[in-house]
Amino acid sequence: MKIAVCMKQVPAESRGLMNEETGVIVRAGLKPEVNSYDLSALEAALRIRENVPAEIHVFTMGPPKAEDVIRTAFSMGADAGFLISDPAFSGADVLATSYTLYRAMETAGEYELVLCGRQTTDGDTAQVSGALAQWMNVPHANWVSDIENVTEASVTVAQKTERERVRMLLPLPCLLSVEREGFLPRLPSLRLKMTAGKKTVVSIGIKDLSDRDPAHYGLNGSATRVRKIYPPPRTQRNPLFSGTADACAEMILHEVRG
Amino acid sequence: MNNRRIFSMDETYAEYVRDESQFTGEAKSISFPRSEEEIRSILRELREQGIPVTAQGGKTGIVGSGVPRGGHLMSMTDFSQVLDFSETDGKYLLTVEPGLRLTELKQALARLGGPVRLFWPPEPTETSATVGGVAATAACGIGVYAYGDTKQYFEAARVILADGTVREIRRGEHFLTIDGQRLDELDAFLGSEGMLGIFSALTLRLLPCTAEQWGIAFFFKTESEAWAFADGLQGNPLPPVAAKVTAAEYIDGESIRLLEERKELLSKLNNVPPIDPDFDAMVYLEIAGEESGIESMAEILMERALQCGSDPDRAWAVSGEKELEALRTFRHAVPETVNLAVEENHRNHPEITKLSTDISFPGKMFSQVMDWYAECLRDLNPAHCIFGHIGENHVHCNLFPENLSEQEQCEAWMRWVLREARGFGGCIARENGIGKVKRSWMPKDDAELMRMHALKKIYDPEGFWNPGNMF
């Protein structure tokens, strides 16, 4: 089985700074790290491979330094890594990001299973996984908290929603977006970390894709533009509401509206 | 009390008469000075009334040094500014107020900016401790393996003596002769548990950070395998070419199990995977230097660990600040979990206190020291765990009595084992201090105690500062 895992490099902290012209988060000067949700996605893939024969391929989209994500993935046990990097991909929103991932994954063959983390800690949209599944025309499930069984044809998962736990059977190929809980990522193994630096990372640029129209990628290919990024205003008020759920909801609404 | 900064003790301040040792004291009044002038003003009034003073830092001590036994309690935690930074000919100095916590120090170092990133080598694992507390106990951190004794990383101190005099003491400027031994005056105050004077400023010597740093955790199915690995680190140290081992820590199986049982209580361990219950010991190492040097060193260590029975596929290896922090947090969680367990027992039996050795054995092999501990513990009933620094075999054996009878048994054991340790070549009070908890365990003729008696006569003959510590 071939499993693709999408992983992203994100700033370790966000100061809420935005390029006013493009609406893109300013990442310069911020220490990078692997999106913690995506580490759980990789962990989910590694656990599947402990039970069924599988190859795990990691895809990361970002500037050249995002290669560190692939190296981390190698040190945890990924088999192959693809860095999707090109100036044309820069500034992509959910639509353009998911399309770029779709076209990039096409170059590496077909995958029975695609795993994503629930969201990133910078964009926080939690929508790329669903959009990618749409491009790939495969069924997908979000909020996956457990992968119970994997066969050649299907995968059984548990999905945690607000009020209930749902068990689902999805045919392969499919895409799963996983929750952090349930997939606590392993720490890198020493032996794998020693070899991670020597493994080949495949670079994918716009010229490698079947669709090379720059209008479909990056800022140009984005359907949305961020207007503003700002931290929520801090307040000294700490009201405490008590009562029935409906009464409290009314009070909260009143408080928020001012 | 006339001074508006002196408050009468009441229930509001109940948390201040106890520290992590679970030793509980009492005080008539408390203050939270924010400047040297405030300290001196408070001291003037207290001296007039003959009221002794206990200085307290972050309450993270484990021997009750900062817990008052009557008199006045002076909490230094509001006295926590960064005062000055200087760089001269590659020597980096940072002057801070003693109440600055180690977490705040780290943030201050990050804010310095500049072309060279700096760190302070002592870095004890208890990050909520204050710099003043570190100075008072000369506490070590995991960096002791490579960077040595904590005292050398204090360059100067401002000290307020019992008579209100303020002394500026710089390393290498003034020396004392105590029992025929020459002693830098600054070193007289470091590790003195606040018994000679109170720090109003401390100048720290910083070092440049290395280019890269890895943290590696090796797991062993038996303790003897881990001991053999540690012996190798000591007997056949890796030459520091482009990289060096900067930390070497041992954690026994009981410590690991204690931690795994209480992991849910420590949210900062949420990112650390569970440890296989098959493992009975672990060794945590840090390597710093150039990446190529680190990788070469890691390869040698991996081979050695394999020869000692550890599976390198199951060893953890991390690099990068955040990942390294996760493993350091794990290492620190061990004493934190021990303290939690002691606190649980203390709630059921208030006479139970922290019982931990703080002995180093320079010149011995690690397995020799662990065999010695095993022999000493053979007939002792209460549970125990052992963890600590492989360098100088400076491990801490913690005991867990569950009732008064076991507490008394353990205290007797402590008194006995300190004498045995001296006979075995050990230095019996290395970094945690003696305080109130351990003073009854110490042999009366201990050289360090005798030295403190002599210093106390010089600097505080009337016993104004931190009464009840050490003797």
**Biggest CA-to-CA distance, chain A:** 61
CA-nearest residue to B310 within chain A is A190
B280, B310, B334 - which closes a domain: B334
- Measured between beta carbons, which residues in chain A are less than 8 angstroms from residue B323? 187
- Measured between beta carbons, which residues in chain B are less than 8 angstroms from residue A189? 312-317
A192 CB near a chain B CB, below 8 Å?
yes
Q: Is A63 part of a structural domain of the chain?
A: yes
- pLDDT attached to residue B22: 87
A interface mutation test: which of B218, B314, B324, B325 has the most A CBs within 10 A? B314
> Which one has a higher pLDDT value, B281 or A257?
B281
B295 CB near a chain A CB, below 8 Å?
yes
Given a cut of 90, whether residue A223 has pLDDT beyond it is yes
Q: Which of B312, B321, B323 sits opposite A191 (nearest CB)?
A: B312
CA distance B313 to B217: 11
Q: Are strands B53-56 and B72-75 parallel, antiparallel or unpaired?
A: parallel
Chain B nearest-CA distance from A66, in A, is: 14
Say yes or no: B15 and B152 in one domain.
Answer: yes
- CATH number, domain of B275, equals 3.30.70.2190
- Measured between beta carbons, which residues in chain A are less than 8 angstroms from residue B263? none
CA-nearest residue to A198 within chain B is B295
Asked if B280 contacts B310 with a C-beta cutoff of 8 angstroms, the reply is: no
- Measured between beta carbons, which residues in chain B are less than 8 angstroms from residue A185? 271, 273
Q: Is A184 part of a structural domain of the chain?
A: yes
Alpha carbon of residue B133 to chain centroid? 9
CA distance B414 to B63: 13
Please compute the mean of the pLDDT values over residues A236-254 and round it to a whole number: 86
A187 CB near a chain B CB, below 8 Å?
yes
8 Å CB contact of B318 and A188? yes
Task: Kindly state the percentage of chain B with pLDDT values over 70.
Answer: 99
8 Å CB contact of B302 and A75? no
Q: State which residues form the domain around B431.
A: 348-442
Say yes or no: B251 and B361 in one domain.
Answer: no
8 Å CB contact of A190 and B316? yes
- Measured between beta carbons, which residues in chain B are less than 8 angstroms from residue A76? none
CA distance A125 to A122: 9
Chain B nearest-CA distance from A31, in A, is: 9
A interface mutation test: which of B213, B263, B271, B290 has the most A CBs within 10 A? B271
CA distance A77 to A90: 28
Given a cut of 60, whether residue B2 has pLDDT beyond it is no
B interface mutation test: which of A40, A193, A194, A198 has the most B CBs within 10 A? A193
Q: State which residues form the domain around A180.
A: 2-233
Asked if A107 contacts A224 with a C-beta cutoff of 8 angstroms, the reply is: no
A184 CB near a chain B CB, below 8 Å?
yes
Chain A nearest-CA distance from B327, in A, is: 10
CA-nearest residue to B295 within chain A is A194
A194 CB near a chain B CB, below 8 Å?
yes
Instruction: Label each residue of A136-153 as H, E or C.
Output: HCCCEEEEEEEEEEECCC
pLDDT digits (tens, 9 = 90+) for B137-150: 999 889 889 999 99
Please compute the mean of the pLDDT values over residues B225-249 and round it to a whole number: 92
* Band of pLDDT at residue A202, cut at 50, 70 and 90: very high
Chain B nearest-CA distance from A106, in A, is: 32
pLDDT digits (tens, 9 = 90+) for A36-47: 999 999 999 999
Q: Total structural domains in chain B? A: 3
Say yes or no: B403 and B376 in one domain.
Answer: yes
Q: Give the number of beta-carbon pairs within 8 Å between A and B.
A: 55
For residue B164, give the 3-state DSSP assignment.
coil
Chain B nearest-CA distance from A177, in A, is: 19
Q: Which of B314, B316, B322 sits opposite A33 (nearest CB)?
A: B322
Given a cut of 80, whether residue B1 has pLDDT beyond it is no
Closest CA to B451 of B438, B470, B468, B436: B470
Say yes or no: B304 and B275 in one domain.
Answer: yes
Q: Total structural domains in chain A? A: 1
pLDDT digits (tens, 9 = 90+) for A41-76: 999 999 999 999 999 999 999 999 999 999 999 999
CA-nearest residue to B218 within chain A is A190
> Which one has a higher pLDDT value, A238 or B422?
B422
Q: Cα dihedral sign for B60, B65, B69, B72?
A: negative
Lowest mean pLDDT among A140-149, B171-180, B437-446: B437-446
CA distance A157 to A141: 9
Q: Are strands B6-8 and B212-220 parallel, antiparallel or unpaired?
A: unpaired
A188 CB near a chain B CB, below 8 Å?
yes
Q: Is B341 part of a structural domain of the chain?
A: no
- Measured between beta carbons, which residues in chain B are less than 8 angstroms from residue A10? none
Q: Is B343 part of a structural domain of the chain?
A: no
Given a cut of 60, whether residue A160 has pLDDT beyond it is yes
8 Å CB contact of A188 and B316? yes
Say yes or no: B307 and B366 in one domain.
Answer: no
Say yes or no: B240 and B357 in one domain.
Answer: no
What letter represents residue B462's amino acid? E
Please compute the mean of the pLDDT values over residues B250-260 and round it to a whole number: 96
A199 CB near a chain B CB, below 8 Å?
no
- Three-point CA angle B459, B22, B96, nearest 5°: 45
Asked if B394 contacts B418 with a C-beta cutoff of 8 angstroms, the reply is: no
- pLDDT attached to residue B3: 63
CA-nearest residue to A75 within chain B is B317
8 Å CB contact of A186 and B272? no
Please compute the mean of the pLDDT values over residues A182-191 and round it to a whole number: 94
Chain A nearest-CA distance from B271, in A, is: 7
Say yes or no: B69 and B205 in one domain.
Answer: yes
Quote the mean pLDDT of chain B. Answer: 93
B interface mutation test: which of A15, A183, A190 has the most B CBs within 10 A? A190
- CATH number, domain of A176, equals 3.40.50.620
- pLDDT attached to residue A32: 85
Given a cut of 60, whether residue B347 has pLDDT beyond it is yes
CA distance B265 to B23: 23
Please compute the mean of the pLDDT values over residues B22-27 and round it to a whole number: 92
ipTM of the complex: 0.82
B178 CB near a chain A CB, below 8 Å?
no
- pLDDT attached to residue B233: 94
- Measured between beta carbons, which residues in chain A are less than 8 angstroms from residue B111? none
8 Å CB contact of B321 and A31? yes
- pLDDT attached to residue B103: 92
Q: Which of B317, B320, B326 sits opposite A190 (nearest CB)?
A: B317
Asked if B465 contacts B162 with a C-beta cutoff of 8 angstroms, the reply is: yes
Among B residues 307-336, those touching chain A with beta carbons less than 8 Å apart:
312-323, 326-327
Q: Is A244 part of a structural domain of the chain?
A: no
CA-nearest residue to A187 within chain B is B316
pLDDT digits (tens, 9 = 90+) for B303-326: 999 999 999 999 999 998 888 888
Say yes or no: B355 and B438 in one domain.
Answer: yes
Q: Is B340 part of a structural domain of the chain?
A: no
Q: Are strands B118-119 and B198-208 parallel, antiparallel or unpaired?
A: antiparallel
Given a cut of 70, whether residue A16 has pLDDT beyond it is no
Say yes or no: B41 and B157 in one domain.
Answer: yes
Q: Is A31 part of a structural domain of the chain?
A: yes
8 Å CB contact of B316 and A194? no
Say yes or no: B436 and B450 in one domain.
Answer: no
8 Å CB contact of A194 and B299? yes
Closest CA to A97 of A138, A128, A133, A130: A128
DSSP characters over B14-33: GGGGB-TT--B-B-SEEE--
For residue B72, give the 3-state DSSP assignment.
strand
CA distance B407 to B21: 13
Say yes or no: B283 and B244 in one domain.
Answer: yes
8 Å CB contact of A190 and B318? no
Please compute the mean of the pLDDT values over residues B334-346 and round it to a whole number: 92
Give exposure, B66-83, as e/b (b: 16+ Cβ within 10 Å): bbbbebbbbbbbebbebe
Instruction: Label each residue of B177-236 as H, E or C.
Output: EECCEEEEHHHHHCCCCCCCCEEEEEEEEEEECCCEEEEEEEEECCHHHHHHHHHHHHHC
Lowest mean pLDDT among A212-226, B191-205, B264-278, B409-423: B264-278
A195 CB near a chain B CB, below 8 Å?
no
Q: Is B43 part of a structural domain of the chain?
A: yes
Say yes or no: B197 and B298 in one domain.
Answer: no
* Band of pLDDT at residue A23, cut at 50, 70 and 90: low
- pLDDT attached to residue B39: 95
- Measured between beta carbons, which residues in chain B are less than 8 angstroms from residue A193? 298, 317-319
- pLDDT attached to residue A15: 57
Q: Which of A75, A185, A190 sits opposite B302 (nearest CB)?
A: A190
